Amino acid sequence: MLQTFADHANPAQGPARLAALRTALAAQGLAGFIIPRADAHQGEYVSARDARLEWLTGFTGSAGFCIVLPDIAGVFIDGRYRAQVKTQVDLAHFTPVPWPYTKPGPWIAAHLPQGQIGFDPWLHTAEEVAAIEKSLEDRPVTLTPTTNFIDTIWHGQPSPPMGQAFVYPDALAGKTSAEKRSALAADLTSAGHTAAIITLPDSLCWLLNIRGADVARNPILHGFAVLHSDARVTLYADPAKFDAATKAHLGPHVTLRPATAFIPALRTLQGPVRVDRATAPLAVTLELIDAGIEIAPGDDPCRLPKACKTDAEIAATRTAHLRDGAAMVEFLTWLNATAPQGGLSEIDVVTQLESFRRATNQLHDISFETICGAGPHGAIMHYRVTETTNRPITLGELLLVDSGAQYIDGTTDITRTMAIGPVPDGAATAYTLVLQGMIAISRARWPRGATGRDLDPLARAPLWMAGMDFDHGTGHGVGAFLSVHEGPQRISRMSEVPLLPGMILSNEPGYYREGAFGIRLENLIVVEPAPKLADDRDQLQFETITFVPFDRHLIDTAMLSPGERAWTNTYHAQVAQNLSDRLSDAARAWLTLATAPL
Judge whether 418 lies within some domain: yes
d(CA 5, CA 84): 14
**Structural domain of residue 208, as residue ranges?**
166-306
Which of left, alpha, beta for 442 (phi over 0: left; psi -120 to 50: alpha)? alpha
- Looking at residue 211, its pLDDT comes to 98
Strands of 254-257's sheet, edge to edge? Answer: 254-257, 233-236, 224-228, 195-198, 273-275, 295-297
Q: Are residues 181 and 143 in the same domain?
A: no
Burial 304-314 (b: 16+ CB within 10 A, else e): bbbbebeebbb
Q: Kindly give, in sequence order, each residue whose CB lies less than 8 Å from that of residue 564, ignoring residues fewer than 6 positions away.
A: 435, 436, 439
Give start and end residues of each alpha helix (H) in 210-253.
244-250
- Looking at residue 62, its pLDDT comes to 82
Q: Are residues 413 and 340 in the same domain?
A: yes
Q: Are residues 198 and 324 in the same domain?
A: no
The structural domain count of the chain equals 3
CB atoms within 10 A of CB 539: 16
Judge whether 369 lies within some domain: yes
- Look at the alpha carbons of 173, 176, 181, 184 in this order and tell me if their dihedral is positive or negative: negative
Judge whether 159 lies within some domain: no
Q: Are residues 434 and 553 in the same domain?
A: yes
- Which residues of the chain fall short of a pLDDT of 70? 1-10
- Look up the pTM and report it: 0.93
Q: Are residues 386 and 531 in the same domain?
A: yes
End position of a domain, from candidates 132, 153, 174: 153
Q: Are residues 556 and 496 in the same domain?
A: yes
Judge whether 161 lies within some domain: no
CATH code of the domain in which 222 resides? 3.40.350.10
Q: Are residues 262 and 119 in the same domain?
A: no
- Looking at residue 42, its pLDDT comes to 87
Judge whether 585 lies within some domain: yes
Q: Are residues 302 and 314 in the same domain?
A: no
Q: Are residues 208 and 323 in the same domain?
A: no
End position of a domain, from candidates 306, 326, 350: 306
- Looking at residue 3, its pLDDT comes to 43
Judge whether 158 lies within some domain: no
How do residues 298-329 score in pLDDT, each as one tens digit? 999 999 999 999 999 999 999 999 999 999 99
CATH code of the domain in which 415 resides? 3.90.230.10
Q: Are residues 271 and 419 in the same domain?
A: no
Judge whether 66 lies within some domain: yes
End position of a domain, from candidates 96, 120, 153: 153
Judge whether 1 lies within some domain: no
CB atoms within 10 A of CB 248: 10
